[in-house]
Structure 1
């Protein structure tokens, strides 16, 4: 019995059924929220200290750290009933999908900075900071999250595992 089951048992049947039907997506979204905070904390820690003039480098490092955390949490929790690949092959595919997702994450911020010129000295530092947050932390992360969910289910964790195969993994 999972830790979530007592909470689910208290919900009205229609909500319980919807949550159970979409539990994988819900878990993925929770992992996404956790890794968003990892990413955001890393990005702003770096941008406010050692990488003040390098917002894309800070973004890359934040996404990289969040991707490592994401693999662990998604493997052991979000997609713990899926698999179909040997662990090293699965990890290689996960990091390949995530590398593509890094590009998806960076694109909106790069467009804002270099196509629309929303960077110092063309705009004020606060304007660049708001633009970086909206284009990188909101638009980029949401686009990459949608891409990752689709690609992880399709390529990395393609098969539903038999219940006996998931007993050794975290629920």
Structure 2
């Protein structure tokens, strides 16, 4: 059973119908959850070790790695019935949208650290880490996620380019689940 079907099988009926209707958004969310773990794992590994004094640089590196993982998963799974451009053109657009989203993601962390001075010695280490997580991993990532979903659907994997592909290759997981 595919991942989406597993999630849908454990979802209450009213919500299941909405998720089936927005299957692409559900897949994008699952990819986002996966890259959230990749991003934060790498970020904390770097910022608590070799980039201790440079949390924004550590976050940027983590976002870049997570973005590469995101491209692969979105291209091959979330938006596989969309697009239709040559792979290098599609990848360039993906990384352009994602690069802009990196800036969107970093703005709340930058404001937290350098505008609001939520860093040691102005605050305790706990407050600093909480502010970093809230601004970099919650607020920044949510803003970037909304921007990416819109940008991917609009420019990277537009529906009109994938219509021919869908007509030729029916998607295996399109049929709704029965309870």
Q: TM-score, normalised by structure 2?
A: 0.85
Structure 2 stretches lacking a partner, 5+ long: 174-179
- Residues 80 and 170 of structure 1 are in contact (CA less than 8 Å); yes or no, is this contact kept in structure 2? no
Structure 1 stretches lacking a partner, 5+ long: none
Match of 1:78 in 2: 78
Q: Distance in 1 between matches of 2:65 and 2:8?
A: 32
State which drifts further: 119-128 or 80-89.
119-128
Match of 1:99 in 2: 99
> For residues 12 and 67 of structure 1, do their structure 2 counterparts lie closer, same or farther at Cα, with a shift above 3 Å needed?
closer
1:77-133 Cα deviation digits (max 9, x unpaired): 110111032111000000000000000000001011111111122222221111101
Question: Mapping of 1:1-171 within 5 angstroms?
Answer: 4-5=4-5, 8=8, 14-159=14-159, 160-162=162-164, 163-166=166-169
1:52-78 Cα deviation digits (max 9, x unpaired): 111011100110110000000000111
Match of 2:176 in 1: none
Q: TM-score, normalised by structure 1?
A: 0.89
Report the RMSD for the aligned CA atoms in angstroms.
2.4
Q: Distance in 2 between matches of 1:11 and 1:137?
A: 26
Query: Across the two proteins, how many residue pairs are aligned to each other?
Result: 170
